Amino acid sequence: MTSRLGWPVLASWLLALGTACGPARRSPQPPVAAPAIAPDPAAHERAARRATRAQAKAAYRAKDWPRCAALFAQAHDGYGAASCHAQAGQIDPAFAELARAIDGGHVDPDLERDGDLEPLHGDPRWPRELAHLAAVAAEHAKTLNAELIQIHHDDQADRASSYEKIDWAKVTPRDEARRKRVDEILAAGGARAADDYYHAAMVYQHGNAPAEIQRAHDLAVQAVELDPDHDAAKWLAAAAEDRKLMYEHKAQKWGTQYKKIDGSWIVWPVDPAITDEQRAEWEVQPLAAAEAFVAKMNARLHATPPAK
């Protein structure tokens, strides 16, 4: 165990001891070094995995499927490896990695809608893995707050349509009621696991005031503290911080927020001091990828409809 006694406290203690003994009888003592902080192997391993995953994501964007699969596997990200194998037409290794990812609880619950895995859909093993995912998810759900799961599900269901098609006159009061109930659950100690805090954070992420978005950030950070490998919570913590800054008309840090201005989408202005390496630590894509995403949205938005 590393001592928590810092140098200023230790120095003051030594000075008091020297005064009591009398300075004339003391010989000069060498400086006392502060206690060394023991390295955290788990933190080092997580940093190494983050770096490897950043390389894997770059390979994914370049559609270098063999390298992408190898790097995701090296980073212990079976879901990413499965996606790359599937895109490369390597069906057997894709299913092997997918099964491992499901066992580890690191799979998108909306697996069927993941286009990267579409090459697996015609294989008889596909329905088996869907059943496998359902069973693992059901066991995991037993460890969570069931009401927070339902509230999160309802929050997402209200946003299943495109933004323009949502009836906000109906959804906004439901959002307010959900936030109120989340507060009651948290106050009663109803959140214990990382996913409980993540579900609560996602509900608050859809608030309208900076204080509500700050609450989303704080809850997402609590989820990460409980599970340092909770990638979705990491991203949500960054996105909430960005959204609050945008609401305050300040530059965002991570580059997760977009806004439609004069009929076109933009990436909300970003603090240039933040690096892509820092973004990767919070599961945020490189800034160039965000800019490319906005360019695609605007291309679709302004595309000339085909002549009839």
The CATH code of the domain that includes 186 is 1.25.40
In Å, how far from its chain's centre is CA 122? 31
Instruction: Please report which confidence band the pLDDT of residue 51 belongs to, taking 50, 70 and 90 as the band edges.
Output: confident
Q: How far apart are CA 18 and CA 58, in angstroms?
A: 59
Considering only CA atoms, which of 35, 34, 94, 102 is closest in space to residue 66? Answer: 94
pLDDT of residue 18: 32
Domain-located, residue 178:
yes
In tens, the pLDDT along 142-177 reads: 999 999 999 999 999 999 888 778 999 999 999 999
In this prediction, residue 308 has a pLDDT band, given cuts at 50, 70 and 90, of low
Q: What is the pTM of this model?
A: 0.77
Say whether both 71 and 160 belong to one domain: no
- Over range 190-198, report the average pLDDT: 97
Residue 141 located in a structural domain: no
CA 122 vs CA 55, 86, 99, 127, 213: distances in Å: 30, 12, 17, 9, 42
Shared domain for 67 and 154, answered yes or no, is no
Give the mean pLDDT of the chain.
86
Domain that holds residue 180: 146-290
Residue 308 inside a domain? The answer is no
Q: Are residues 227 and 279 in the same domain?
A: yes
In a domain, 245, yes or no: yes
| pLDDT tops 90 at residue 227 | yes
Going by pLDDT thresholds of 50, 70 and 90, the confidence category of residue 40 is low
Structural domain count, the chain: 2
Residue 62 and residue 161 in one domain: no
Residue 152 lies in a domain: yes
- Rounded mean pLDDT of 60-66? 95
pLDDT of residue 107: 78
